[in-house]
Amino acid sequence: MRLETKTRNEERGTRNSAHRELGLADSEYEQICELIGRDPNVVELAMFSLLWSEHCAYKHSRKLLRRLPTEGKRVVMGPGENAGAVDLGNGYAVAFKVESHNHPSAVEPFQGAATGVGGILRDVFALGARPIAILDSLRFGQLDSQRSRYLLDGAVRGIGAYGNSIGVPTVGGEIYFEAPYEHNCLVNAMCVGLARTEEMVRAAASGVGNLVVLMGASTGRDGIGGASVLASAELEEGEEKRPSVQIGDPFEESKLLECCLELLGQGLLVSLQDLGAAGLTSSAGEMASAGGVGVDIDVSRVPLREADMEPFEIMVSESQERMLAVVEPANLERVLELCDKWQTGAAAIGEVTDTGRIRVLRGDELVGDVPVSALVDECPLYDLEPQEPDSWTYGNRATLDDRADGAESLLALLASPNVASKRWAFEQYDSIVGSRTARGPETADAAVLLVPEVDAAIAVAIDGNGRRVACDPYRGTVEAVLECAANLGCVGAEPLGVTNCLNFGNPEKPGPAWQLDRAVSGLADACEAIGVPVVGGNVSLYNEGPEGPIYPTPVVGMVGELPDPRRAAGSGFARAGDAIALAGPFGPSLAGSELAKLRGELDLGLPGVDLAVVYAAIAGLREAVRSGAVASAHDVSDGGLACALAESAIASGLGCKIDLDPLVEERGASGETALFGEGPGGFVISGDRAKLEQLASDELPVLVIGEVGGEALEIEAAEQSLSVPLADAEHAWRSLAERVESA
Amino acid sequence: MIWGVVQFPGSCDERDALAAAGLVGEARMLWHADDDLDGIDAVVVPGGFSYGDYLRAGALARFSRLMEALAAFAQQGGPVLGICNGFQVLCEAGLLPGALLTNEDIRFVCRQVEVVVESNRSPFTAGLEPGERLSIPVKHQQGRFFAPDDVLDELESCDQVALRYAAGHNPNGSVRDIAGVTNEAGNVLGLMPHPEHAVDELTGSVDGLRLFKAAAAALA
């Protein structure tokens, strides 16, 4: 069989610029020609343009990612697999990954977010893990923008529509509203799954002569070029790109999920891989590359939605709800029977070969033939040309008068959509299906999921404050890791592994390149310092609007374990009369804070963090929670200590009386900074006064600052004094729904 | 006693229902394409999105092969509990009165609510006192119970309203705050709240377990 192609010489004079329209640089095109010894034909060019896109090849980030610590004794699967996984003991592992679907969501928020969830679910069940939780991290422009409310509404409905109907609970997440996300919202979805370690499979194809089986939905023209068109360039004319957005079908995926898990449970699959960006090309290429084998694909055997599809369209279609499996020929009949039982499509479309090549056939005709290594491993990697910006470039419109008093500032902060309750969103998600959710949205700092299979529980959190990363990419990213660890600490959980999604602007520009470089170093150093491996992740670059890049937004997802879910502390106070203490080395600062944003005072710079000191405090708090010494625990985050106290009070329906003078004296802060300053390493804990005092140690300083009770938040802090009725605080904190819906 | 839990393509809460029923008896999964209920003492039609709920919630599942056997089982007085999507399926199948429409505010809602026991005629509420409040979560987008006024009057006069949402707890705009109804004989109960998600203090409440226990006691 010979491939009909023109020789390079024939083509040279007339070569058009098709590769440029597909996002390949001239130098990259030249390199492809050298690698395969001729010009690629249309099928091959389509395949290269996708696998050599930023989205698939990580060509601007791969070198940086080598800095991340990826090994640990609990790691079962690390980066490079469909998702990472860590050992839970007793024959079980927890698999997890976060992934972005930013550009599709900015174009069509409902389908963009829905298929983002669908894609991350497939990554997790591709390992043989049953998905048990979804978390999502969303960023939109300011809430007063109609476009932001439209994107928010669509994304939340999309996440719900997919997660709810597939029966996986959405147990947590975060939403921030900042002007730099106005044109380029972020939708990051994280999935957590539970697997029997011995039933897990890798994505590597193996066994020459084994069959390649495509399962799930039929293949259509939807999402063609999604990875290159949408995910690897700046978004400009979103409307015209709508046909590139994929359409989700959670029912199809529900059947596919159950079918795959049953197939894996019966040991009928050699390997399994989901079809995501770049469709069959990417799945077949990555499977072959990981296994060091070749793969033949016959596109005439792919079940199609539209009969007249060209081979290149079939190879790059991003139709959703499809998986690619490698099956021993003797097992094919059983596999097809089980697919039939679950009413999910299945077709043997090719086989594993020893050629080291991806060969695309249409029946007997060879229509594409490239070395796997050229396609998957040889994409050029670029060095960044970072340059530190010398000033704050994001703008910052003041919405709060700096003469506002303490009470006015507190109410403004509680009503700020970044701080306000996200109940409007999370009530649209099924957070309880699966019967594992011991701590769901806004009841504790991290979600807690029961895992009776190992007689324990896991905690999960997702965090990343892009505004603070914009102030200082290194320190802001360190803080995101510490914030996750602090959230886990509040429920008594010890971190096991990290996943991350790096959402940044155009890496070919010096400013975003510098942010990316510094953020990856911060992520690496923080994970190293707390001894937690990064087992997977995703990079989303070119997130820019007409006014410039988004805030640099590394989103960190963390999974931890806790021995006794009954002791997982809630964030709300428990009893009137309990003492309230500030635990940890918290040194508040207004730099990069929510208050600084409201006042229009944002600027570059964040205070330094002593990673070892803060993590020792987090570990101390974790032990305190595990010992049952605290009745509530809540970390100090957006809006500072005053907002943390208000949140603990609102959750319990109990007020509090607080004196922050000890904090002002000991940490040298002003009253205002003590109230609203932010920074890592602070926890509001409550409980029996003597027990709280006994917790104090060198690692975990404990300052008793007040008492639970009454119907108001009464706080004294040096020159500041405020008293806000609890009902007013709650009204402000619960104002999000009305502001979204009234529009 | 032996419980059977029906699994359709697209069911979501079938494993949770199986676990809940398993707390008060033996529980087996039933496949939608099977055709007999031999040896089963009570059936749960669980929540979820059978067949994606694409045509109308429950509209396709009612044509499943197992539904014929289920209808016969119900007609012979066998206890049947339809939860959420199961309630929708039983209404579509004509085994329960009324219909479930899209929530008043159109959105999906997941929330812990309180319901009041109205009738203890069904085996699932036997032994509960009318007026008792139970804390059980809801999670649905098509949960607004509806029937014409004359049907509602008849349901009330025949003691077929089993559960109502407590004042201020109606999450979906259900007419007359109805959360659960029975068939005329009382052996088939459909409800929107999820009792299988209220069987463990650690996940929020154990009030739902009382429905499973009631049926186990009634059949003992």
pLDDT digits (tens, 9 = 90+) for A316-332: 998 999 999 999 999 99
Report the C-alpha gap between A461 and A496 in whole angstroms: 12
Give yes or no for residue A718 having a pLDDT over 70: yes
Report the C-alpha gap between A738 and A316 in whole angstroms: 43
Give yes or no for residue A227 having a pLDDT over 60: no
pLDDT, average across residues B132-147: 98
Per DSSP bridges, beta strands A271-274 and A346-353 are unpaired
Q: Is A265 on the interface with B (CB under 8 A)?
A: no
> To the nearest whole angstrom, how far is the Cα of B190 from the nearest Cα of chain A?
19
Share of chain A above pLDDT 70, in %: 95
Interface contacts (A, B; CB < 8 Å): 90
Burial profile A57-76: b = 16 or more Cβ within 10 angstroms, e = fewer:
bbbbbeebbeebbbebebbb
Spell out the residues 6+ positions from residue B93 whose beta carbon is closer than 8 angstroms to its own: B58, B62, B67, B70, B71
Give yes or no for residue B53 having a pLDDT over 60: yes
Residues constituting chain B: 220
> To the nearest whole angstrom, how far is the Cα of B176 from the nearest Cα of chain A?
23
- Output the pLDDT for position A571: 97
Confidence of residue A239 (pLDDT cuts 50, 70, 90): very low
- Contact A437/B110, CB-based, under 8 Å? no
Give yes or no for residue A228 having a pLDDT over 70: no
Q: Is B107 on the interface with A (CB under 8 A)?
A: yes
pLDDT tens for A109-119 read 999 999 999 99
- Contact A250/B202, CB-based, under 8 Å? no
- Output the pLDDT for position A237: 47
- Chain A segment 242-261 residues within 8 A of B by beta carbon are 249-252, 254-255, 258
pLDDT tens for A562-603 read 999 999 999 999 999 999 999 999 999 999 999 999 999 999
Q: Compare all CA atoms of chain B with the CA of A248 and give the residue at the minimum distance.
A: B52
Q: Compare all CA atoms of chain A with the CA of B196 and give the residue at the minimum distance.
A: A435
CA B200, B202, B203, B207 torsion-angle sign: positive
Q: Compare all CA atoms of chain A with the CA of B200 and give the residue at the minimum distance.
A: A435
pLDDT tens for A142-154 read 999 999 999 999 9
Give yes or no for residue A469 having a pLDDT over 50: yes
Catalytic residue among B84, B140, B169, B197: B84
- Output the pLDDT for position B170: 98
Give yes or no for residue A1 having a pLDDT over 90: no
The tokens for B106 are: 């159109």
Identify all chain A residues contacting B12, using CB atoms and an 8 Å cutoff: 164-167, 254, 430, 433
pLDDT, average across residues A377-390: 93
Is residue B14 part of the annotated active site? The answer reads no
pLDDT tens for B13-33 read 999 999 999 999 999 999 999
Confidence of residue A12 (pLDDT cuts 50, 70, 90): very low
Q: Higher pLDDT residue, A49 or A741? A: A49
Give yes or no for residue A283 having a pLDDT over 70: yes
- Output the pLDDT for position B220: 83
C-alpha count within 13 angstroms, C-beta hemisphere, residue B102: 5
How high is the mean pLDDT of chain A?
93
Give yes or no for residue B68 having a pLDDT over 90: yes
Identify all chain A residues contacting B55, using CB atoms and an 8 Å cutoff: none
The answer to whether A124 and A96 have CB atoms below 8 angstroms apart is yes
CA angle A178, A99, A31 (to 5 degrees): 110
* Sheet bearing A656-659, strands edge to edge: A632-635, A683-687, A579-583, A702-708, A656-659, A712-717, A720-725
pLDDT tens for A619-674 read 999 999 999 999 999 999 999 999 999 999 999 999 999 999 999 999 888 999 99
Confidence of residue A233 (pLDDT cuts 50, 70, 90): low
Share of chain A above pLDDT 90, in %: 87
- Contact A255/B10, CB-based, under 8 Å? yes
Give yes or no for residue A229 having a pLDDT over 90: no
ipTM of predicted assembly, 2 dp: 0.97
- Output the pLDDT for position A231: 54
Give yes or no for residue A243 having a pLDDT over 80: no
- Output the pLDDT for position A15: 56
What three-state secondary structure class fits A549? strand
Neighbours of B156 (CB within 10 A): 14
Spell out the residues 6+ positions from residue A30 whose beta carbon is closer than 8 angstroms to its own: none
> To the nearest whole angstrom, how far is the Cα of A61 from the nearest Cα of chain B?
39
- Output the pLDDT for position A259: 97
Give yes or no for residue A244 having a pLDDT over 70: no
Q: Beta partners for A457?
A: A450, A562
- Chain A segment 346-375 residues within 8 A of B by beta carbon are none
Identify all chain B residues contacting A165, using CB atoms and an 8 Å cutoff: 10, 12, 48-49, 52-53
Give yes or no for residue A81 having a pLDDT over 90: no
Confidence of residue A402 (pLDDT cuts 50, 70, 90): confident
How high is the mean pLDDT of chain B?
96
The tokens for B210 are: 């009382």
Q: Is A430 on the interface with B (CB under 8 A)?
A: yes
Is residue B110 part of the annotated active site? The answer reads no
Confidence of residue A22 (pLDDT cuts 50, 70, 90): confident
pLDDT, average across residues A519-525: 98
Confidence of residue A242 (pLDDT cuts 50, 70, 90): very low
The answer to whether A401 and A411 have CB atoms below 8 angstroms apart is no
- Output the pLDDT for position A473: 98
Give yes or no for residue A226 having a pLDDT over 90: no
> To the nearest whole angstrom, how far is the Cα of B104 from the nearest Cα of chain A?
14
Q: Is B204 on the interface with A (CB under 8 A)?
A: yes
pLDDT tens for A358-374 read 999 999 999 999 999 99
Q: Higher pLDDT residue, A514 or A23? A: A514
Q: Is B60 on the interface with A (CB under 8 A)?
A: no
- Contact A428/B54, CB-based, under 8 Å? no
